[in-house]
Amino acid sequence: MTLARLILREIRHRKTNFALSVLGAVIAVAVVLATLGSLRAYDRQTEAVVDQMEEATKSEMAKLEDEIRKSMKGLGFNLFIFPAGQDMGEVYSEGFASKTMPEAYVTKLAESGVVTVNHLLPSLTKKLEWPEQKRTVILIGVRGEVPIAFRKPKAPIIDPVAPGELVLGYELHRSLGLEKGDPVTFMGKNFKVSDTYEARGSKDDITLWMNLGECQAMLGMQEKINAIQALECNCATVDRLGEIRTELMEILPDTQIIETQSTALARAEARNQASATAKAQIEAKKEQRALLRAEREKLAGWLLPVVALVSMIWIGLLAFINVRERLPEIGILRAIGVKGRTILGAFLGRAILAGLVGGIIGAVIAEFVRLPSMDSGLIIETGEWIAAISAAPVLAALAAWLPSLAAAQRDPAEVLRYD
Amino acid sequence: MSQSTNTALDEASADTEIRPPVLSISEVAKQYRTTEGTVQAIDHVSLSLEPGDFVALHGPSGCGKSTLLLMAGALLSPDSGTIAISGENPYALGAEARAAFRANRVGFVFQQFHLIPFLDVLDNVLVGELAGTLPHGEFRERARELLDRFQLGHRLHHVPSKLSIGEQQRVALARAFLRSPSLILADEPTGNLDAENAAIILEHLGDFAASGEGAVLMVTHDDRAKAVAGRSVEMRGGRLV
Ligand SMILES: Nc1ncnc2c1ncn2[C@@H]1O[C@H](COP(=O)(O)OP(=O)(O)O)[C@@H](O)[C@H]1O
Ligand SMILES: [Mg+2]
């Protein structure tokens, strides 16, 4: 005969009391684990939602960026740097400047470490008569984009025109019947048509593009340019132009800068806007979910102790009933010399067993809980499983402590005297 | 018996060649205090049982028989006077030591049997093992032997509710004998039994006393029981008359 045998036989005999004690532990452990598990599942869900939103924003931004890059090719630049003395009235009426500045400015700018502008494109423009054709044309000498020294050289946005070649605007090649590859004479010099442009409905249609060096030599304006086109960087601040001016004036004090509206800029701004909106949306989502989580946490904060306490009271009450039912048994055991602490062990052992069995069943139930608001199950960490399953018998023993102690200290004479 | 008390006894008998009385009650008094007042349950009682004694204690209801028995069994401490079992005062011991003392010296039999309802016959006899002091399994053979002797060898794995009351009291008797006590205290052991079963119980109690292993103090109203006992004492109002 052992204490364990006594405990097990008694449990088999009074199944209902034991089953109800187990139920108390089952409910407590299942509720505690389900609450913790759903809080974590909620956090995971939040992470997933935010990740998904961030991913979507990133790809949306990349798409916009790509669109802008493509559109820039055709849409040109939005900053013009002119010599300081250039009359802007002339620029607006003629479409180009007549005053010149050294071509070295562009190199200086490119090597300065400038941050507010991109894609520097120097040009020399002059309205003149095409002597061979007896018609007014705009001649623009261009060279390729001047790479900004400290940035990675990117693919040039505007193709340079090679020496000995000309690019013709729509009106010119159409009226002269010239096509790509045709020879053509300009100011007594032979060129080859390297490209012809579609109609743009602007001065471009009567423009003739030439290699910058060749153009300078032809016009006797060596090392001179009269404009640098640039694209402002996509650093959206309120006083964009102010910032650019401040920076450029330090590098090239002898110039002036104007900004023109361009679709590229509008798109860049739209992109910045979209990015800001998306970020705000993600923040709002995070905030909303954090708020909901805090609410749930608050609920858990009182629910868990209450559930633990109620099931402890429940288990304590059942232990008390069990002790009451077993008074004659306790009396005889004490009479035949069974020690008080063995009696205590019999009752505590029973409670511990109830807690352990209930803890395991409760944990298994928690494992299979699916909440309607979540697509996943509960997310419960190993430590929590272990803590819940090991806390249940300890708390059950605490709950049954007082009734068990009363049983152990019961005076056997009380029970046996009235025989 | 525990080893320490054994040694003490051996030395005592070796020195003097005289065994102390199994039970020695001298000038014992006990009062119960209730809200209605105090009851003098036992009023300066002295009684001595030598090995081999079988004493029947009788008297009207409420005269203090059960109270005396509980005090004799190291379950209820007297207000005054002394009680010694085999020369040792159990009330000088702490609660746990007194429990061990009871386990090894005293066997109880009650009118209501007090069997444990969820244990089978063998386990009911073996609950004495829960008192410890000896390794588990020590008493298995003895339990079977006793149950055989009491004609219960075929019912080892039946629960008490499946037994007749005569059989139930025999299980209780086997439980009392398990650890070979020197003192058997029986409180109206035949009170619930028919004549035939009462006779069986009395015979076994008589055998125990006759063997000289110890002594029996039995509370009884039964005249046949008084006849079986070697000595009969009467109690009235907490005194022996
Ligand atoms: N716990 C108790 N509290 C108060 N009075 C008690 C208690 N137990 C017994 N008595 C009283 O003590 C007296 C002796 O009781 P008891 O020993 O049970 O007598 P008996 O066994 O001879 O019937 C009775 O008057 C009884 O009412
Ligand atoms: Mg009585």
CB B220 within 8 A of CB B235: no
Would you list the DSSP string of A346-357?
HHHHHHHHHHHH
> How many CA atoms lie within 13 Å of A179's alpha carbon, on the beta-carbon side?
0
Using CA atoms, how far apart are residues A51 and A19, in angstroms rounded to an integer? Answer: 46
Asked whether B71 lines ligand 1 (CB < 6 A), one says: no
CB A110 within 8 A of CB A148: yes
Q: Beta strand B23-34 with B37-49: parallel, antiparallel or unpaired?
A: antiparallel
CB B237 within 8 A of CB B60: no
The CA-based angle A223-A229-A66, given to 5 degrees, is 135
Nearest to A333 among B66, B127, B176 (CB): B127
Pick from A236, A310, A261, A284: nearest CA to A80? A261
Q: Beta strand A101-102 with A224-225: parallel, antiparallel or unpaired?
A: antiparallel
Position A262 pLDDT exceeds 80: no
pLDDT at A155: 47
Closest CA in chain B for residue A345: B130
Using CA atoms, how far apart are residues A355 and A388, in angstroms rounded to an integer? Answer: 10
pLDDT at B1: 42
Q: Distance from B191 to chain A by nearest Cα, in Å?
A: 10
Asked whether B204 lines ligand 1 (CB < 6 A), one says: no
Pick from B171, B179, B122, B128: nearest CA to B150? B171
* Contact state of B132 with A342 under an 8 Å Cβ cutoff: yes
CATH architecture of B50-76+88-240: 3-Layer(aba) Sandwich (3.40)
Q: Distance from A336 to chain B by nearest Cα, in Å?
A: 5
CB A196 within 8 A of CB A173: yes
Distance from the alpha carbon of residue B209 to the mean position of ligand 1, in angstroms? 28
Q: What is the pLDDT of residues B63-103, one digit of tens each?
A: 999 999 999 999 999 999 999 999 999 999 999 999 999 99
Pick from A352, A340, A355: nearest CA to A392? A355
Instruction: List the single range of A52-61, A330-339, B11-20 with lowest mean pLDDT.
Output: B11-20
> Does residue B9 belong to the interface with chain A, where contact is any CB pair within 8 Å?
no
Residues of A in contact with B111 (CB under 8 A): 419
CB A224 within 8 A of CB A103: yes
Kindly report the protein residue whose alpha carbon is nearest to atom 16 of ligand 1: B64
Q: At residue B220, what is the residue type?
A: T
Q: What is the pLDDT of residues B152-173, one digit of tens each?
A: 999 999 999 999 999 999 999 9
pLDDT at A48: 87
Distance from the alpha carbon of residue B100 to the mean position of ligand 2, in angstroms? 25
Using CA atoms, how far apart are residues B133 and A370, in angstroms rounded to an integer? Answer: 54
Closest CA in chain A for residue B110: A419
Q: What average pLDDT score do residues A368-388 get? A: 79
Interface predicted TM-score of the whole assembly (ipTM), two decimals = 0.90
Distance from the alpha carbon of residue B42 to the mean position of ligand 1, in angstroms? 9
More reliable by pLDDT, B77 or A144: B77
Q: What average pLDDT score do residues A224-252 get? A: 77
Instruction: Report pTM.
Output: 0.70
Size of interface A-B (CB pairs under 8 A): 101
Average pLDDT, chain A: 86
> How many CA atoms lie within 13 Å of B65's alpha carbon, on the beta-carbon side?
26
What distances in angstroms separate CA A40 from CA A302, A383, A389, one per listed residue?
17, 14, 19
* Contact state of A5 with B188 under an 8 Å Cβ cutoff: no
**Residues with a beta carbon under 5 angstroms from ion ligand 2:** B 66
B56 has which bridge partners? B218, B232
Q: At residue A38, what is the residue type?
A: S
Q: What is the pLDDT of residues B5-60, one digit of tens each?
A: 455 555 544 444 578 999 999 999 999 998 999 999 999 999 999 999 999 999 99
Locate the domains of chain A by residue range: 3-58+275-416, 79-260
Can you read off the two tokens belonging to residue A214? 């060749």
Locate the domains of chain B by residue range: 50-76+88-240
> Does residue B112 belong to the interface with chain A, where contact is any CB pair within 8 Å?
yes
Using CA atoms, how far apart are residues B65 and B57, in angstroms rounded to an integer? Answer: 7
